[in-house]
Amino acid sequence: MKNKHSTACPRNCYSTCSFIVHVDDNKVVHIEPHPENKTTPEGVCLKGLSYVERANSSDRLLYPLVKDKETGRFERIAWEDAYSLLIEKLTYFKEEFGNHSVFFLTGSGMAGLLNNVSSNFWKLFGGCTLHYGDLCWPAGLEAVRLTLGENKHNAPWDLKHARLIIFWGKNPAETNVQQMIFVEKAQVDGAKVIVIDPRKTESSERADLLIQPKPGTDAALALCIANILIENDQIDNEFIEKHVHGFDEFKKHVKQFSIEKTVKITGVKKEFILKFSEEIGSTKPMTIAPGYGMQRFSNGGQTIRAILALQIITGNIGKSGANFHYANLQSYVFDEVKEPLSYYPDHDNDAPFRRSISMANLGENMLNSTGPELKMLWVERGNPVAQNPDTNTVLAAIRKMEYTVLIDQFMTDTALEADLVLPAKNMFEQSDIIGSYWNPYIQLKQKVTNPPDEVKPETEIYWELAHKLGFDKALIQENIPAPDDESIERWLKNILKKHPEINWEKLKEGPQLAHNHEEIAFADFKFKTASGKIELFSEQVEKLWGINPLADYTEPVENESTSEFPLQLLTPNTKNRIHSQFGNLKSISQFDEKPFVHINPYDAKERSIKHGDLVKVFNDRGSLEIEARFDFGLRLGCVSIYNGWWLQEGGTPNLLSKGRETDMGHGAAFHDCMVEVEKLG
The angle formed by the CA atoms of residues 318, 159 and 200, to the nearest 5 degrees, is 120
Tell me the fold of 2-56.
N-terminal domain of TfIIb (2.20.25)
Q: What is the CATH number of domain 138-329+522-545?
A: 3.40.228.10
Q: What is the pLDDT of residues 199-251, one digit of tens each?
A: 999 999 999 999 999 999 999 999 999 999 999 999 999 999 999 999 999 99
| pLDDT score recorded for residue 216 | 97
The residues spanned by each domain of the chain are 2-56, 65-128+345-427+452-471, 138-329+522-545, 567-679
CB 36 within 8 A of CB 21: no
pLDDT band at 577 (very low <50, low <70, confident <90, very high): confident
DSSP labels, 180-218: HHHHHHHHHTT-EEEEE-SS--TTGGG-SEEE-PPTT-H
Q: What's the pLDDT band for 336 if we cut at 50, 70, 90?
A: low
Residues 244/147, Cβ–Cβ less than 8 Å: no
pLDDT at position 352: 61
The pLDDT score that the predictor gives to residue 354 is 62
Q: Which of 226, 232, 243 shows the shortest CA–CA distance to 288? A: 226
- Residues 123, 141: Cα–Cα separation, whole Å: 28
pLDDT at residue 275 is higher than 50: yes
Q: What is d(CA 43, CA 359) in angstroms, rounded to the nearest whole number?
A: 34
Residue at 594: amino acid letter: K
> Is pLDDT above 80 for 1?
no
Distance, in Å, from the CA atom of 609 to the CA atom of 504, rounded to the nearest integer, reads: 59
**Amino acid 133: pLDDT:** 93
Could you read off the pLDDT of 514-538 as tens digits, one per residue? 988 999 999 999 999 999 999 999 9
Peptide bond into 285 cis (omega under 30): yes
3-state secondary structure 598-644: EECHHHHHHCCCCCCCEEEEECCCCEEEEEEEECCCCCCCEEECCCC
pLDDT category at 575 given cuts 50, 70, 90 is: confident
pLDDT of 369: 93
Predicted local distance difference test score (pLDDT) of residue 593? 86
Express as a percent the part of the chain with pLDDT over 70.
Answer: 97
Q: 349 pLDDT exceeds 80?
A: no
Alpha-carbon distance of 550 to 640, in angstroms, equals: 32
Average pLDDT estimate for 474-498: 95
Output the pLDDT for position 654. 97
Assess contact for 444 and 482: CB atoms under 8 A.
no
pLDDT of residue 540: 96
Q: Read off the pLDDT of each residue in 552-574 and give the average, rounded to a whole number.
A: 94
> pLDDT tens digit string along 367-409?
999 989 999 999 999 999 999 999 999 999 999 999 999 999 9
The span from the CA of 515 to the CA of 667, in Å, is 31
Could you tell me which CATH number the domain at 567-679 has?
2.40.40.20
Residue-averaged pLDDT of the chain: 94
Residue type, 299: N
Q: pLDDT category, 48, cuts 50, 70, 90? A: confident
Per-residue confidence (pLDDT) for residue 347, from 0 to 100: 43
Distances (CA, A) of 651 to 383, 555, 620: 14, 29, 16
Q: What is the CATH number of domain 65-128+345-427+452-471?
A: 3.40.50.740
**pLDDT at position 340 over 60:** no
DSSP string, 260-300: HHHHHHH---HHHHHHHHHHHHH--SEEEEE-SSGGGSTTH
